[in-house]
Amino acid sequence: MNWDDTTDADSAEERLVGSVADREDQAVEAALRPKDLGEFIGQEKVREQLDLVLRAARARGATADHVLLSGAPGLGKTTLSMIIAAEMGAPIRITSGPAIQHAGDLAAILSSLQEGEVLFLDEIHRMSRPAEEMLYMAMEDFRVDVIVGKGPGATAIPLELPPFTLVGATTRAGLLPPPLRDRFGFTAHMEFYEPAELQRVIHRSAHLLDVEIDTAGAAEIAGRSRGTPRIANRLLRRVRDYAQVKADGVITRDIAEAALAVYEVDARGLDRLDRAVLEALLKLFGGGPVGLSTLAVAVGEERETVEEVAEPFLVREGLLARTPRGRVATPAAWAHLGLTPPRTAAGGSAQQDLFGT
């Protein structure tokens, strides 16, 4: 075997190990998902409103109205879609906007739906325009027109659909065109979780995972979970691993702190990428302003990764600001990293001049 063969074999093994690990994580996440609205923690207003919608539909013996769920990743949109199907006693079909690039793709899915079935369409804002226009008629009239042939001889064949419930999920509701948004009978925005709610999520997950955790340990993990249950559950699993290997398996505050230090999650919830962005902004560019593309090159990441993964949390935490001139670090960012802002000729810091402080 030559070197290239060895490299290919190693790469194949790494991909196999990675895919197995991903499947294991997905299996654990599926096991931790609440099965009904009573088990679902947080999002009190959304749960109350959705409960009314589903109860009324069941009382009428009708299919539930179409539902649009918006909010940041990891807040429970997929879980709620599964709960909607369970509460209605209906099967669920799961797909995503990027997977539907042609009207024919959507027509194939819609034509195979059963009566009352729930169709969960994740990242609905990324669906192609032709498919989107077909969806209008399907949602409103439970009918689609399938075009057969091309040119002057093309014929539109109407295809009746059984009543179904579309659950759309999006992280960017503003990108949805008004005609599509208006066809949803119920819309809900998912909010970030408070630390106390995340502690309840962590205690529930720890019980399901058969992990012993005390209140202080749960609070430590919750405080670093960025207001997101998915992140809380992921950190819990990593702290569990550390506790099993390095301690007696019980998660306390000290164990949680030590474990999260190993995984480079600081006390405020910033991870390696967040800190890399802040450090580049402060140390290389004096706190900014600096363009997004330049900042992405400095941290060795794609522009989209910095913009969609790191920036939203940094902005929400008040550590970074988006300005017309570029990205700017706030005084809180300097303080968080223990650095001193550069002084201006007038004696103040550049950030004080930008923010008027």
Same CATH topology for 33-189 and 272-355?
no
| pLDDT tens track for 23-79 | 556 666 677 888 888 889 889 999 999 999 999 999 999 899 999 999 888 898 999
| pLDDT tens track for 219-250 | 999 999 998 999 999 999 999 999 999 888 88
305 is catalytic: no
183 labelled binding-site residue:
yes
Which range, of 117-121, 317-321, 339-343, averages the lowest pLDDT? 339-343
Sequence-distant (≥ 6) Cβ neighbours of residue 5 within 8 angstroms? none
Annotate 219-241 with b (16+ C-beta within 10 A) or e (fewer). Answer: bbbbbbbbbbbbbbbbbbbbbbe
For residues 94 and 78, give the distance between their C-alpha atoms in angstroms, rounded to a whole number: 9
Active-site annotation holder among 224, 230, 240, 275:
230
What are the two backbone dihedrals, phi and then psi, of residue 328, each rounded to the nearest 5 degrees?
-130, 135
Q: In CATH, what number does 195-262 get?
A: 1.10.8.60
Active-site annotation holder among 47, 77, 224, 275:
77
317 labelled binding-site residue:
no
DSSP run (H or E) holding 319: none
21 pLDDT tier (thresholds 50, 70, 90): very low
DSSP 225-274: STT-HHHHHHHHHHHHHHHHHHSSSEE-HHHHHHHHHHTT--TTS--HHH
63 is catalytic: no
77 is catalytic: yes
33-189 folds as Rossmann fold (3.40.50)
Domain map (residue ranges) of the chain:
33-189, 195-262, 272-355
Which whole-number Å values give the CA distances from 155 to 101, 105, 158, in the listed order? 22, 18, 10
248 is catalytic: no
Cβ atoms of 63 and 163 within 8 Å: the answer is yes
78 is catalytic: yes
246 labelled binding-site residue:
no
pLDDT at 108: 85
Q: At what angle do helices 195-208 and 3-32 cross, to 10 degrees?
A: 110
Active-site annotation holder among 165, 171, 228, 330:
171
140 labelled binding-site residue:
yes
Please state which CATH class domain 272-355 belongs to.
Answer: mainly alpha
Classify 117 as helix, strand or coil.
coil
| pLDDT tens track for 292-338 | 888 899 888 888 888 888 888 888 888 898 888 889 998 988 988 88
pTM, entire model? 0.79
